[in-house]
Amino acid sequence: MPRTGSGPLPRFADLTTMRVGGQPARLLSPATELELVDAARTVWGSGEEWMLLGGGSNMVVSDEGFDGTVIRVLTRGVAVLATGAAADAEASASDRVRLRVQAGEPWDELVARTVAEGWSGLEALSGIPGSTGAAPVQNIGAYGQELSDSLVAIDFLDYETGVLRRIDAAELQLGYRTSALKQGLRGLVLAVELELHDTRAEASVLGSALSTPVAYPQLAGALGVQVGDRVPLGALRASVLALRGAKGMVLDAGDPDTNSAGSFFTNPIVSLAFSRTMPASAPRWPLTDPDPPDRVIPIEEYYGVGPVEDATPVPLVKLSAAWLIENSGISRGFRLPGSRAAISSKHSLALTNVGGATADEIGQLARFVQGRVQSEFGVILQPEPLLVGVTL
């Protein structure tokens, strides 16, 4: 089985973007699909503890490390399965392209390639770190796009049965930063199948490959267009990267604000009745909206003022975790005394390692933030990353 060299094992501090955490007991680094399946089956058969690691951009591991085997997914490759008119001609008149992407393929390299090829559908997800195999785990999303918009299926090695099977996206319960893979379905994503719009024929007429309609007000503003407009793919990617860079959301070795796991907390989902107890200035929006609007929209604009609580299903509302944190008295750059864990100076939702922080310090800061928000607003923020040996 492929093992990592004979020297000392790397620490999670070297394997994750938060840059904290001790060593794993064992590390396997399979680089082909066959090796990956073999490694997983062998480790699972041994009965020892195991975990999967992609780019380490959505996990925080304790200073004690992990007493088990880490399978680090390094498989690479993008296969173009089909191009041409959509198989489901009623779905859209535009052409489609299907890709099968190996789990270890770096996500942003994939996005860059699709933009260069003139394939639209992933461009607003530019700059998200990590691997393609981890993308379905929390149904990555940003700037009005989510993986679920393009995901057709995954090839999955099931831990419970040992069986290799294809799971259609519709069966994955993809939602806001969640999926069946985060809710108990244990196993290994080997590859991801995506369907994108092949805009090249259109581009030969229009002179430029265009994005899917811009769905996020802040992005539309940055591009100088309206929500719903389409813009050149390259321009959209550049704009997303610039917006993300200004928030410390593009990995940058020179910027300690990017030593993070991205957003540390998810936006809380509450009942409409509870959301009405929030201060008037608190942003809130229906669960069905993909991302927070950049302005405070009175919830009545969506639901009116009537007794919609009687509606079935009960309307659910998202609150802004960033607003809750800032309005519980925690500002950007905040640190507990003597701690090397800080709220990002650019984005209040990111907990960062300013240099040499321990996982313990990250945990302390997270608990402090949670406690402040709970006592101010009665909302318990939930962590977005996988926590290994770190409890909030």
Ligand X SMILES: Cc1cc2nc3c(=O)[nH]c(=O)nc-3n(C[C@H](O)[C@H](O)[C@H](O)COP(=O)(O)OP(=O)(O)OC[C@H]3O[C@@H](n4cnc5c(N)ncnc54)[C@H](O)[C@@H]3O)c2cc1C
Contacts of 9 (CB under 8 A, 6+ apart): 23, 24, 26, 27
Instruction: Decide: 71 and 28 in contact? Cβ < 8 Å.
Output: yes
DSSP at 280: T
- Min CB(379)–ligand X separation in Å: 21
Task: Between 181 and 231, name the residue whose CB sits nearer to ligand X.
Answer: 181
Distance in Å, CB of 113 to ligand X, minimum: 17
Residue number, 121 or 141, with CB nearest to ligand X: 141
Give the Cα separation of 94 and 82 in Å (integer). Answer: 14
Q: Which is nearer to ligand X, 239 or 258 (CB)?
A: 258
Catalytic one of 33, 117, 123, 384: 384
Nearer to ligand X by C-beta: 210 or 386?
386
> Closer to ligand X at the Cβ: 267 or 275?
267
Active-site pick, 263, 320, 328, 348: 263
Pairing outcome for strands 386-388 and 59-61: parallel
d(CA 319, CA 326): 13
DSSP letters for 140-178: -EETTEEGGGTEEEEEEEETTT--EEEEEGGGS--BTTB
Tokens matching residue 1 = 């089985």
Distances (CA, A) of 88 to 96, 193, 327, 343: 10, 16, 48, 47
Alpha-carbon distance of 183 to 176, in angstroms, equals 13
Binding positions for ligand X, rule: CB under 6 A:
17, 51-59, 73, 103, 128-131, 133-135, 137-138, 140-142, 188-189, 249, 251, 258, 260-262, 386
End-to-end CA distance of the chain: 36
262: alpha, beta or left, given left = phi > 0 and alpha = psi -120 to 50? left
Is 384 an annotated catalytic residue? yes
For residue 191, the tally of other CB atoms under 10 A from its CB is: 24
Q: How far is the CB of 8 from ligand X (least distance, A)?
A: 21
- Closest approach of Cβ 212 to ligand X, in Å? 17
CA distance 55 to 129: 7
By beta-carbon proximity to ligand X, the closer residue of 99 and 386 is: 386
- For residue 27, give both structure tokens: 């590390």
Q: Which of 177, 230, 237, 372 is catalytic?
A: 177
Q: Which is nearer to ligand X, 86 or 167 (CB)?
A: 167
Q: Least distance in Å: CB of 68 to ligand X?
A: 12
For this structure, is 177 an active site residue? yes
Which residue is listed with tokens 């313990």? 360
The residue to which tokens 């009175």 are assigned? 298
344 flagged as catalytic? no
Encoding tokens for residue 148?
């679920």
User: Scanning the structure block, which residue is given the tokens 């094992």?
Assistant: 9
CB of 85 to ligand X, least distance (A): 31
Shortest Å distance, C-beta 205 to ligand X: 33
Residues annotated catalytic, as ranges:
177, 263, 384
